[in-house]
Amino acid sequence: MARKYIEDQEIKNIDFTEQLFEFGTYEGCRFIDCNFSSLDIVNIHFEDCEFTNCNLSNTNLCDSSMQNIKFCECKLLGVKFDECNPFLFKVSFHFCLLDYASFYKMKVKNSFFENCNLEGVDFTEADLEKTVFSQCNLRNVIFERSNLTKTDFSTATNFSIDPTKNKMTKAIFDKTDLSGLLDVFGLMLK
C-alpha cells in the first residue's frame, strides 16, 4: 500500500469509523471533531499535528509515530501509547480524558498534561523527567520504577506515589498536600 503525504490540512467533522482513514504521513495537520474510536491506525506518521475535540478511545496506534503532537479536549480512553514508535515521541495533553491509557516504559520527558483526567493510567517504568501535571486528577495512576526527576505535581490531585519505588529527585509537590506520598507507609496527616 502506497504511503500518502498529507501536509497542513484541516480535517474536520469526519467519523473515521465510517470513512477510510488514509495510510500515510500527516505533517502540520489539524484534526477537529473527528472520531477514531477503536480504529487500527497502525504505522501512521504524525508530526506537528493537533487533535481537537476528537475521540481516539481504544484506538490502536501500534508502530505509529507521534512527534510533537498536541491533544486538546480529546477522549483517549484506554489508548496504549506504549505501542507507538518511541523515536522522537513527544505529546502534550490539554483538557483531555486519558483514563486507563498506558505509557509503560515510554520516554515522556518534558511533556505537559493540563487539566486532564488520568484515572488508572499506567506509567510503570516510564521516564517522566521534567513533566508537568497541571491541575490533573491522578487517581489510581500507576507510578512504579518510574523516573519522576523534576516532575511537577504541585497542582495535581489524588496521586499516590511510593517514594521507595520511584526516582523522585527534585520532584515538585505542594507542601500542603503530601498525603499521596505517605499512603504506602499507612500514615495519616491531620
For the chain, the domains span 1-95, 98-190
Report the pLDDT value the prediction gives residue 179, as an integer from 0 to 100.
64
Q: pTM of the full predicted structure?
A: 0.92
Question: In the sheet where 50-52 sits, what is the strand order?
Answer: 10-12, 30-32, 50-52, 69-72, 91-94, 112-114, 132-134
Q: What is the mean pLDDT of residues 2-7?
A: 88
What is 1-95's CATH number, 3.90.190.20, 2.70.170.10, 2.160.20.80, 2.40.50.1020?
2.160.20.80
Record: fold of 98-190: Pectate Lyase C-like (2.160.20)
pLDDT digit string (tens) for 95-140? Answer: 999 999 999 999 999 999 999 999 999 999 999 999 999 999 999 9
Contacts of 123 (CB under 8 A, 6+ apart): 103, 104, 108, 141, 142, 143, 144, 146
Query: Above 70 in pLDDT, residue 10?
Result: yes
Q: Is it true that 1-95 and 98-190 share their CATH fold?
A: yes
Report the pLDDT value the prediction gives residue 188, as an integer from 0 to 100.
56
State the distance between the two ends of the chain, measured CA to CA, in whole angstroms. 62
